[in-house]
Structure 1
Amino acid sequence: MDYQILIPYLILVVVGIVMVYSASSDILLVNGFKPSFYGIRQFQYALFSIGIFGSLAFFMKLEVFKSWRFIGSYLLISSIMLVILLLMKFIGGSRFAVNGAVGWINLGFINIQPLEIAKLALILYLAKILDKRDGKLIPGSIIENLSGPTILSFLMMILVILEPDLGGTMILFMIVMVLYAVSGIPTRIVVSWLIVLFLLMVGLVTFLIVWNPKFLQDSYQFQRLLAFAHPFKLERTGGAQLVNSYYAIHNGGLFGVGLGNSMQKRGYLPEPYTDFILSIISEELGSVGAIVILGILFYLLWRIMEVGIHATSQFNALVCFGVVTIMFTETLFNVGAVLGLLPITGVTLPFISFGGSSMIVLTAGIGLILNISAHEKKKLEDSETVR
């Protein structure tokens, strides 16, 4: 048991349950619902996730996750679910859309977000492929060896961007880039790809904001982009979420107004228990409380990276780096949006924001990492015994 992973994970889950309850209770009460509804639902997601976590960490052999049968089935299921979302978008139209995007499949007791499932599926697939081609990724043979996985990854990104979900697409892209970078491809090649794509994105975003085309005025995603550039000018429309996030952080100061005492969660900050829950944390627990929680999250990321760095298997190392990439990129996008440093993409804060799919998949990732950690420790002990 790697307690340096388990304990931070459990702390974050408990903090998430408490803060989801705190951030959602007032608005639920005002609208005639039980104030504990979302808090209880988050607790149920956590219990279900911990059950999956236990199975992956302690009862399943690591070889199962390395088999093509498991990886292929998982990848196929996630791809089919993404295709179903597109069919819902183009056939069902606005009936299935939330804020202009179709990103969930409603099963009644839970809304499944196929993107979350696809993230882990892509990590396992690329880890298997790159492990198999270890040592072959040298200048002159990179395109030959990576054309297949690159095309498949690109197709998954197309399915996600058509929802449309820019944040999810960027997370998939970062998974591909990070795993390519640590698999043996010369760093300068990967860095040059990232720089070119970053400059293209910045140029495109700047061009759209300056141009402000009429045919995009009804797009929810474009209004979020404009709100990022001019939040106070668009305070009564798309900028309300960001402006009220600023107010929440300012109200909280260093040590906060106290748990449960946020003003912005009382109808000012839209959906404060999802992607802007960090604003409520900052208001109630202060900037110090928010930094402590982020510190625990980054300690967890560091420990998972440490497991990956010391892994004796390429597959194990790549899975560790892939899970870290998901959590780090989600945290970066979430904190950046809350502070107004990045456009709002609807990306949640790992283990803290309300959401069943995110909780389940990230917890499955933690369970897999614990399995890898235990496997690596056993190999080390066996090798020392032989000596």
Structure 2
Amino acid sequence: MARGQQTEKKKKPIKYFDYSLLFLIIFLLCFGLVMLYSTSSYAGSNKFGDASYFVKKQLFATGLGIVGMYIVSKIPYRFWMKVSSMAYLAAIVLCTAVIFIGTEANGQARWLKIGPLSFQPSEFAKFAVIIFLATVIYKTPQKMGEFMSLVKIMAIVLPIVAVVAYNNLSTAIIILGIAVCMLFVASPKYSHFVLMAAAVGVVGVVFISFEAYRMDRIKIWLNPEAYEKGYQTLQGLYAIGSGGLFGKGLGESMQKLGFIPEAQNDMIFSVICEELGLFGAVCVILLFLLMIWRFMIIANNASDLYGALVVVGIMAHLSIQVILNIAVVTNTIPNTGISLPFISYGGTSVLFLLAEMGLALSVAKGIKFEVN
């Protein structure tokens, strides 16, 4: 009996913290700020008389985001299950409000003005959808094998997808992608997703056909040289091609000097390719792959299904956004406004991305190992 008690004492559960993920987050944030300054200094000087204008605003948002990440990482992740429905409804209300009282910037009304600050509700919607869907799936795991259950869950998500798509089709695609990925991981029957993909494809074709400018984007994608609006795409490709293997050097990009419109936003990856070359671009992609790998480790070892689903949602968000951004910059898909996580300019984006990172770290802290 004494020996059994001694053995029991030797086995102590230790709490886990993913320092590898934290290092990747910090490194990407620092790299993003350096590249943002390099990319935006010319535009900042011309438009605002301050080469650091965009970096200062991004640094402020990043500081808030780091504080938010710390706070979220300290909150037990199961707390978000209690407020998930409220967060989802708030996201729908805020995204609807943008349609009627949204502030316009760069020709798009996607922001809500709160005093001196601008807030993009569609970024909050991604976070809300992740915690809400994780809650819904967690509460009905035995029904995930039924096709009608998948249809019902998708029907719950469609309102926010439709509202966001009114002003921001690219973000609506990301939200829909997050939902599909979370359902795919939770469902034991993958054949259901063939029918779902066919239905989404039909709806997508009809949706694109409703607006002439969406059809124009496809024409521009197929033949950017023949259209004036293909200018941004062509300049981005020139930047990628001129970078070569190791690039022209940090700060030496020519295309950022007014040739690529709003280079600090969606097209920043093309400047990375020009200044750091193929080598730098591959390194950035590898950093994102390492981050996705860490998410997979956390999801596989999460203490419960809810934690695993939350991390899968975060992983889906990051993966889809990175893939779509790089695909747009390289003209693999039609041009849509999708930022590169942690690197592109965008305060609301980095704020909620860091909140999601805090949530992933919170799930990681719930992992326990037994050591002798």
Q: Structure 2 length normalisation: TM-score?
A: 0.90
Asked if the contact 1:275/1:346 (under 8 Å) is kept, the reply is yes
Alignment of 1:257-336 (within 5 A): 257-336=248-327
Cα distance in structure 1, aligned partners of 2:285 and 2:114: 32
Equivalent residue for 1:5?
21
Helix, strand or coil for the counterpart of 2:49?
Answer: coil
Matched, 1:65 2:58: no
The alpha carbon displacement at 1:195 in A equals 4.8
- How far apart are residue 149 of structure 1 and its match? 3.2
1:60 partner letter: I
In 1: Cα distance, 2:241 partner to 2:267 partner: 15
1:83 is aligned to 2:96: yes
Deviation at 1:289, TM superposition (A): 0.4
Question: More displaced, 332-341 or 170-179?
Answer: 170-179
- Residue pair 2:39, 2:263 contacting (<8 A) in 1 also: yes
Residue 183 of structure 2: aligned partner: 180
Superposed CA RMSD in Å reads 2.1
Aligned equivalents of 1:101 and 1:30: distance in 2? 22
Which residue of structure 2 aligns with residue 169 of structure 1?
172
Q: 1:152 to 1:202 in 2, by over 3 A?
A: closer
Q: Distance in 2 between matches of 1:146 and 1:312?
A: 24
Counterpart amino acid of 1:111? S
Give the total of aligned pairs.
356
2:229 aligned with 1:233: no
In 2: Cα distance, 1:266 partner to 1:369 partner: 38
Matched to 1:309, the amino acid is N
Secondary structure of the equivalent of 2:225?
coil
Pairs within 5 Å for 1:17-28:
17-28=33-44
CA distance in 2, matches of 1:157, 1:166: 9
Q: Is the 8 A contact 1:281 1:289 kept in 2?
A: yes
Opposite residue 128 of structure 2, the aligned amino acid is A
- Counterpart CA distance in 2 for 1:49 and 1:149 is 30
Q: 1:218-245 CA distances to partner (integer Å, 9 max, x unpaired)? A: x4x55433321221111xx211110000
Residue matched to 2:54: 38
Provide Cα deviations, 1:273-324, integer angstroms capped at 9, x if missing partner. 0000000111111111011011101110111022112223111111011001
- The residue type equivalent to 2:84 in the other structure is I
TM score, norm. by length of structure 1: 0.86
| Equivalent residue number for residue 114 of structure 1 | 121
Task: Output the CA distance in 1 between the equivalents of 2:90 and 2:108.
Answer: 21
**Identity in percent:** 28
Mean Cα deviation higher: 104-113 or 8-17: 104-113
1:223–1:238 CA contact under 8 A, matched in 2: no
Query: Are 1:74 and 2:76 matched, yes or no?
Result: no
Query: How far does residue 199 in structure 1 lie from its aligned partner after superposition?
Result: 6.8
Mapped contact 1:49–1:363 kept (Cα < 8 A): yes
Q: Any conservation in 2 of the 1:75–1:125 contact (CA below 8 Å)?
A: yes
| 2:163 paired residue among 159, 167, 174 | 159
Partner of 1:14: 30
CA distance in 2, matches of 1:81, 1:32: 30
Write 1 or 2 for the structure with the bigger share of strand: 2
> How many angstroms does 1:203 deviate by?
8.9
Q: Deviations over 1:87-136 (max 9, x none)?
A: 236xxxxxx44455321112354321111101111111111110110122
Find the partner of 1:355 among 346, 350, 358: 346
**Secondary structure at the residue paired with 1:103?**
strand
Q: d(CA) in 1 for partners of 2:218 and 2:108?
A: 15
**Pair 1:101-2:114 in alignment:** no
* Mean Cα deviation higher: 105-114 or 272-281: 105-114
CA distance in 2, matches of 1:196, 1:81: 28
Aligned residue for 1:182, secondary structure, equals helix
Deviation at 1:63, TM superposition (A): 2.8
Letter in 2 for 1:137: M
Deviation at 1:352, TM superposition (A): 0.6
Assess if the C-alpha contact under 8 Å between 2:247 and 2:276 holds in 1. Answer: yes
CA contact (8 A) 1:135 1:184 kept: no
2:303–2:366: 8 Å Cα contact kept in structure 1?
no
Q: CA deviation at 1:325?
A: 0.7
Instruction: Quote the Cα distance in structure 2 between the aligned partners of 1:322 and 1:136.
Output: 19
Q: Which residue of structure 2 aligns with residue 93 of structure 1?
A: none
Question: Does 2:140 match 1:128?
Answer: no
